[in-house]
Amino acid sequence: MIQKKIILNESDMPTQWYNIIPDIPNGVAPPLDPETKEPMRPEKLAPIFPMGLLEQEMSDQSWIDIPEEVQEIYHIWRPSPLVRANKLEEALGTKAKIFFKYEGISPSGSHKSNSAVAQAYYNKKEGVKRLATETGAGQWGSALSFACHKFGLECKVYMVRISFDQKPYRKSMMNTYGAEIVASPSPDTNIGRKILKSHPGTAGSLGIAISEAVEDAASRDDTKYALGSVLNHVIHHQTIIGLEAKKQMEIAGEYPDVLIGCCGGGSNFAGLAAPFLTDKLEGKNLRMVGVEPASCPTLTKGLLAYDFGDVARTTPLLYMYTLGHDFIPPGIHAGGLRYHGMSPIISAMVREKIIEPISVHQLECFEAGVLFAQTEGIIPAPETCHAIRAAIIEATRDKNEPKTILFNFSGHGLLDLSSYDRFFAGDLHDYDFPEEDIAKATKNLPKI
Ligand SMILES: Cc1ncc(COP(=O)(O)O)c(C=O)c1O
């Protein structure tokens, strides 16, 4: 019988995060101060981030110890299982072996908890009382709400309007963990009020919600800001996924030919892929495929340039693939993939041709998600459906090729069922972002 799951003992959970930056050929460009266009000094970001996280953001050390308090909370769900999707393989009639790392097992339902717990810990340690954040799909907001409660912090979540309306139970979940939630753009911030006036009825975007959360944090002494993706420290925290997966693949007696992950800001895919990079650089035949929606094609159609991470131009300038900071993507159902930018780490790996980016459409992703649910039993988040779709493309390109595929199952979709309902009702549509709109969206990039 096929071994279905590889489970590590708690004592086998990694006790260090990996920092991939020193190993990326030609490095990762530093964030710039928008005023001086010089590399950002950490002190300048101190009003919104704790020094512990800023040190990690700028670190050139390859390994970072995971504090015991964080490890203890990780043990609620980690190590997460590595699962062989043999029932999906059978349904596809492929000789490929498909494995997935099941991050949907965390309390809030996704990989986001890996960084949320770490961020709450470092803020608590430095005396912060309250965190402000954005959330797209609601997964990050739920994860941070849970993490804040664990460390006795208050939490305010600005949730992108369209997800706020589509996913009312995410709000219930965040309330259960004791957080305060508001739809973004909101009347609670200057930027929110301005956008509500100029774009009444807007679906919102992650770029707007980030601006609101940063403004909130910058305007209060007791509050700092937490970001659920994109930044280097978030990606370091997520490497626990790949570090565990590598051990588990070894136990399974396998090595992946292809690694796959969906890309919103890049954290779940970078977290899975990072610990495999040195093998690839040493000549291992390993492909890394990052999947994004065709309606928000940051890596496949965006520009590699310095840009702001938010609409209000409050963040440092990041060197990344971008569709322009004032790009408002169409309201596709994978809310966590509706972001104009991409992490500088993933961007550098695409630039170096280490990662192959691809884009897929919404409907084929939901079809893949339904097939996965019917074969493997777990209903995937719409974001995760993108990774599953890419795994299916890889496994069926030549069904007789015996390759090994490993994808990151970033989150479950149990609070995304209204999106599945709309898919079944035929209300969802594919959308290709037109080239001329991309040219328009990127014309306001800052001049460096
Ligand atoms: C389940 C899930 N997967 C993936 C993503 C994309 O984010 P990232 O690319 O940072 O992993 C999100 C973001 O909200 C998410 O909720």
Q: Could you tell me the distance, in angstroms and rounded to a whole number, from the CA of residue 410 to the centre of ligand 1?
A: 7
Q: Could you tell me the distance, in angstroms and rounded to a whole number, from the CA of residue 36 to the centre of ligand 1?
A: 32
Quick one: which atom of ligand 1 is closest to the CA of 271? 11
Q: Could you tell me the distance, in angstroms and rounded to a whole number, from the CA of residue 193 to the centre of ligand 1?
A: 27
Assess whether pLDDT exceeds 90 at residue 389: yes
**With bands split at pLDDT 50, 70 and 90, how would you rate the model's confidence at 331?**
confident
pLDDT tens, position by position, 217-229 = 999 999 999 999 9
Ligand 1 pocket by Cβ (under 6 Å): 110, 136-137, 139-140, 229, 262-268, 336-337, 381, 383-384, 410-411
Q: What is the mean pLDDT of residues 57-62?
A: 97
Which residues are CB-neighbours of 102 under 8 A, at least 6 positions away? 80, 81, 82, 83, 378, 409
pLDDT at 115: 98
pLDDT tens, position by position, 164-188 = 998 999 999 999 999 999 999 999 9
Which CATH class for the 67-109+239-441 domain?
alpha beta
By percentage, how much of the chain surpasses pLDDT 90?
A: 91
Which residues are CB-neighbours of 72 under 8 A, at least 6 positions away? none
pLDDT tens, position by position, 238-265 = 999 999 999 999 999 999 999 999 999 9
pLDDT at 437: 80
